[in-house]
């Protein structure tokens, strides 16, 4: 029996019946050149075409191929999670089945891991055939998430990445259901290296992530990694309360005490409107205070580990 370490390749699949055989044909020679044993894990994410038939053919023909078949479409993030949860390797590599991620880069990922990197991230420098709307949306999303989040996410980083077994173990402790896998991996930390690549054009089919799915993923990421949306009402209320309060005080003093010409032009209805705006500000401030409590609840319900340990010191060992 081989004593080589195993490299796990995790591939989410959704409506990729034409790409699956081509992907397998191209990746197998690359994996066979590695000085490791390997397993190829396909996760069929409720495909509506004949992807599962193609996957089952591969599983029967090659003992290194494993297939996880979802009962319905749960989304790419949970498909990747299932692969990470079930892989056996000393490291795993996540990549798409549509061959947009250049599989010839796999040896470079492994080489950086061998030199000590615990996470190797594929960063897309250019994407053949990418529209300007998606490109600009990606740019502004990363700008926003890095501005409001407590951690930095590398611009144009992809799901194409290698995880060491220690990272896999910690990732498997995370429990949230609405997730962005790459952001969770970034949250974990660990030593990381980067590989830059130009994404290939998709050969068959259409991308599983359409515009609205990308928008939903962006919203989930903002909610998961920043409490700013919760606090926004409080900040807005504070601004409205201070502005309307100052205006109301100016009109009150100017109209009834100092009789200034400008303040005297305000009617009773306008004074009432300013009072209502002031009260709205108080309500929003109150909502902001409630948001702070909800933020604490959100943090507890998310149930992420309080800290991540790279190495554990044996109780019988000592440090000089």
CA 188 to centroid of chain Cα atoms: 12
Q: Provide the pLDDT for residue 113.
A: 92
Largest CA distance in the chain: 97
Q: Provide the pLDDT for residue 45.
A: 87
* Alpha-carbon distances of 78 from 40, 84, 147, 158, 295, rounded to whole Å: 17, 10, 26, 16, 24
Residue 37: which residues within 8 A CB-CB, separation 6 or more? Answer: 2, 4, 5, 6, 7, 64
Q: Provide the pLDDT for residue 230.
A: 66
**Radius of gyration of the CA atoms of the chain, in A:** 27
Q: Provide the pLDDT for residue 318.
A: 45
Identify each DSSP E strand in 168-262 by its residue range. 192-199
Q: Provide the pLDDT for residue 307.
A: 42
Q: Provide the pLDDT for residue 16.
A: 87
Question: pLDDT averaged over consecutive 10-residue blocks of the chain (320 residues)?
Answer: 79 89 91 90 89 89 89 86 90 90 91 92 73 60 61 74 92 81 85 86 59 59 62 74 78 72 71 77 76 66 53 48
Supply 4's token pair: 């080589």
Q: Provide the pLDDT for residue 163.
A: 94
Helix 76-86 and helix 181-188, axial crossing angle in degrees, nearest 10 = 50
Q: Provide the pLDDT for residue 240.
A: 78
Q: Provide the pLDDT for residue 308.
A: 41
Q: Provide the pLDDT for residue 313.
A: 47
Q: Is-above-0.85 flag for pTM?
A: no
* Alpha-carbon distances of 245 from 237, 241, 242, rounded to whole Å: 12, 6, 5
């Amino acid at each position: 029996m081989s004593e080589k370490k195993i490299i796990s390749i995790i591939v989410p699949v959704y409506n990729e019946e034409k790409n699956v055989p081509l992907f397998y044909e191209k990746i197998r020679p690359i994996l066979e050149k590695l000085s490791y044993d390997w397993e190829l894990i396909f996760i069929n994410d409720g495909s509506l075409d004949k992807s599962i038939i193609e996957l089952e053919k591969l599983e029967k023909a090659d003992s290194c191929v494993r297939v996880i078949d979802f009962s319905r479409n749960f989304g790419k993030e949970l498909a990747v999670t299932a692969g990470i949860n079930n892989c056996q390797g000393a490291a795993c590599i996540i990549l798409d089945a549509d061959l947009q991620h250049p599989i010839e880069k796999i040896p470079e990922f492994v080489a950086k891991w061998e030199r000590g990197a615990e996470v190797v991230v594929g960063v897309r420098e250019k994407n053949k055939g990418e529209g300007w709307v998606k490109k600009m949306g990606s740019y502004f999303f990363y700008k926003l998430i890095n501005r409001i989040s407590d951690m930095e996410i590398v611009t144009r980083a992809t799901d194409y990445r290698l995880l060491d077994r220690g990272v896999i173990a910690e990732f498997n402790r995370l429990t949230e259901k609405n997730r962005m896998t790459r952001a969770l991996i970034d949250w974990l930390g660990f030593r990381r290296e980067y590989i830059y690549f130009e994404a290939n054009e998709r050969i068959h089919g259409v991308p599983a992530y359409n515009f609205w799915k990308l928008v939903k993923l962006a919203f989930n990421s903002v909610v998961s990694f920043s409490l700013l949306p919760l606090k926004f009402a409080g900040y807005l209320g504070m601004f409205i309360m201070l502005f309307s309060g100052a205006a109301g005080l100016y009109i009150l003093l100017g109209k009834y005490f100092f009789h200034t010409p400008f303040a005297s032009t305000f009617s009773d209805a306008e004074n009432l409107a300013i009072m209502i705006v002031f009260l709205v500000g108080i309500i929003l401030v109150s909502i902001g205070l409630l948001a702070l409590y909800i933020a604490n609840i959100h943090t507890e319900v998310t149930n992420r580990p309080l800290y991540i340990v790279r190495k554990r010191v044996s109780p019988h060992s000592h440090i000089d």
